Amino acid sequence: MLKDIDFKKVNNVAMAVVPQDEIDGKPTWKVYLMNLKKKPILGVIINSKGYGKVNEKSVETSRLRQMFDKVEASSYVEVELLYDELTALTNEFWVSFWENDFMYDKKFVFVTESITNKHLTELPLLDEKGILIK
């Protein structure tokens, strides 16, 4: 049955994490979904969670779900704010959307300790430095 499902590859959609000003003396990061396509994507659903080990103890954050009716071509939407202590975890974003009457989905995973200033690069669309996964 699984062999009968047409899984198409997701192209030109990315997740970005950008450093922000501190809140209460703690660094923060904004997470963005970027549509790098020349057409909008529709019915976008994003499930996010963090997980990993802190002091040898397994930790998992609450699961967040967001929906965006439309993300315009060559644009982005803000998904959530990450506090710096969450960057020690693996942060996973499962994105589903419709394009040309087909539902696509892709998991974007920022592995443990990958959200750091040493991994910053120039980001398309945002004109800022951040961490990008395509």
Three-state DSSP class for 39?
coil
**Residue 93: per-residue pLDDT:** 98
pLDDT in tens, 54-92: 889 999 999 999 999 999 999 999 999 999 889 999 999
Would you say 98 and 69 are in contact if contact means Cβ atoms under 8 Å apart? no
With 80 as the cut, is the pLDDT of residue 3 above it?
A: no
Q: Model pTM? A: 0.92
